[in-house]
A = this chain, B = another copy of it.
Amino acid sequence: MQSDAKKTGLLSIVSTGPGNTQQLTPAALKAIAKAEYIIGNNVYIDLIRPLITGKEVVKSPMGEEVNRAQMALDLAASHRVAMVSGGDAGVYGMASIVLEVAERTQSEVLVEVIPGVTAATAAASRLGSPLSGDYVTLSLSDLLTPWEVIEERLDLASRMGVPVAIYNPRSRGRPHNLDTAIAVIGRHRGDETPVGVVRNAYRPGEEVHVMTLAELRADTSPIDMHSIVIIGGIESRIWKVGDDVRGIITPRGYHRKYVY
């Protein structure tokens, strides 16, 4: 009579990568396949639609993350639940808020995080090798972080001289954050700094643009909230074969060690 009480649940926070079923790991696919409930925001649920036929799907709009986390924990007390989150769930994804709610409620529910291809490296792969080594990951969204904090971080990141991968470079509510960010970066990086913009990496409508910081300053039109902007470091350069632009290379330093 107590079979229900004995049933052990599991909440898998599943990273779905850039949003193409070719870019989820087998571990992520398995967690989705085994789940009784799938929870996520509408955008990510739609991207993995082919994988979830016949499952109980709980959609939830952007902005409802706290409720979604609580709902997932409640269901996972006695069911297998997959909370899906784009890119890597541990980077601007659902992992932190789920664990914050689990901590506050001192939840004993089993929770696992399944890593995935994060948006910065997905975008980088389309540009050649713009990151290569040390780099900074930074979001321009001031929804959860005060703008002064973002600006201070961006200034320090630019002083580091390494590439900076910018998430949420522009949204409808904050159209001018990117212009301000470009001005901050410009204090420490020259006009010729290579910049890569990747919109909808590995998704329908993918666009890849290579330009300079000066060109970005003059025209930010290809950039929206589905884009990642990679600002090159002080050693980054545009990779050309003849006059043909192939991408961006940030050298790792082999030229300092080897003659080649």
Contact = CB atoms under 8 A, between A and B. Distances in A.
Nearest to A161: B153
A142 B30 CA distance: 39
> How many copies are assembled?
2
A40 interface: no
A24 B26 contact: yes
Given A113-B125, A137-B137, A144 B257 contact: yes
A121 B131 contact: no
Of A98, A115, A161, most B-chain CB atoms within 10 Å: A115
Main secondary structure of the interface of A (DSSP, over half): mixed
Contact of A251 (B96, B121, B242): B96
Q: How large is the interface on A (under 10, 10 to 19, 20 to 34, 35 or more residues)?
A: 35 or more
Given A26-B22, A96-B129, A254-B97, A241 B134 contact: no
B133 A122 contact: no
A115 B107 contact: no
Given A65-B254, A107-B241, 5 more contacts: A25-B25, A91-B121, A99-B249, A117-B117, A153-B161
Interface of A: 15, 17-18, 21-27, 30, 65-66, 70, 88-92, 95-104, 106-108, 113-118, 121-122, 124-126, 128-139, 143-145, 149, 152-153, 156-157, 159-162, 239-242, 247, 249-258, 260
| Among all A-B residue pairs, the 4 with the closest Cβ atoms | A144-B253, A95-B129, A96-B132, A115-B125
